[in-house]
Amino acid sequence: MKRTAVVYYSMSGNTEYVAKTVAESVSGTLIKLTPKKEYPSKGFSKFFWGGKSAVMGDTPALEDYSFDAENFDRIVFGTPVWASSFTPPLRTFIKDNREALSGKEFACFFCFSGGGADKAEEKLKKFLEIGDFSAILVFVDPLAKKSAEKDEKIEEFCKKLAEE
């Protein structure tokens, strides 16, 4: 099986729920990204500051994490959709590791609540400078609106990763 890192950011747990499930299923390594200055997670500020940061293409400083690209064949990125884009901590990670990431296989999953996942996917592909992901999973709030159907989608995604 390919050696897999699951690199994710999650503000309110939905992406983390999927990241943990995927990492466990493919015996992957979880790498959680945490901004040094966390975004506000309540009320109007939550959408304003996070949305603005995503639109501006910010690359916030991250708490230390351990990632040695040599140990992995594949990176699975997990992110919420923010303002129809992927989240700024992922942007920082990719920017900081761009050279080390070259030649890796990429898969990803997006959690969102209404729209913009297709745009976020395009933006992430463009930022990674790749044609496509080897596997992709997109769904609405898989923890806050948990369902058997969504859990099955996670399982299918893991199966696809395991087959490769």
Ligand X SMILES: Cc1cc2nc3c(=O)[nH]c(=O)nc-3n(C[C@H](O)[C@H](O)[C@H](O)COP(=O)(O)O)c2cc1C
Report in angstroms the alpha-carbon separations of 129 from 8, 33, 53, 125.
19, 21, 21, 6
Residue 96 CB, shortest distance to ligand X, in Å, is 21
CB 112 within 8 A of CB 142: no
Between 20 and 104, CB nearer to ligand X: 20
Q: 74: helix, coil or strand?
A: strand
Give the whole-angstrom CA distance, residue 115 versus residue 123: 14
CA 5, distance to chain mean position in Å, is 11
Using Cβ positions, the residue closest to ligand X within the complex turns out to be 50
Tell me how far, at minimum, the Cβ of 62 lies from ligand X, in Å: 16
Nearer to ligand X, 71 or 113 (CB): 113
User: How far, in Å, CA of 105 to CA of 130, rounded?
Assistant: 10
Cβ-based nearer residue to ligand X, 11 or 94: 11
Binding site for ligand X (CB under 6 A): 10-16, 46-47, 50-51, 80-84, 111-116, 141
| Closest distance of CB 50 from ligand X, Å | 3
Closer residue to ligand X, CB minimum distance, 95 or 146: 146
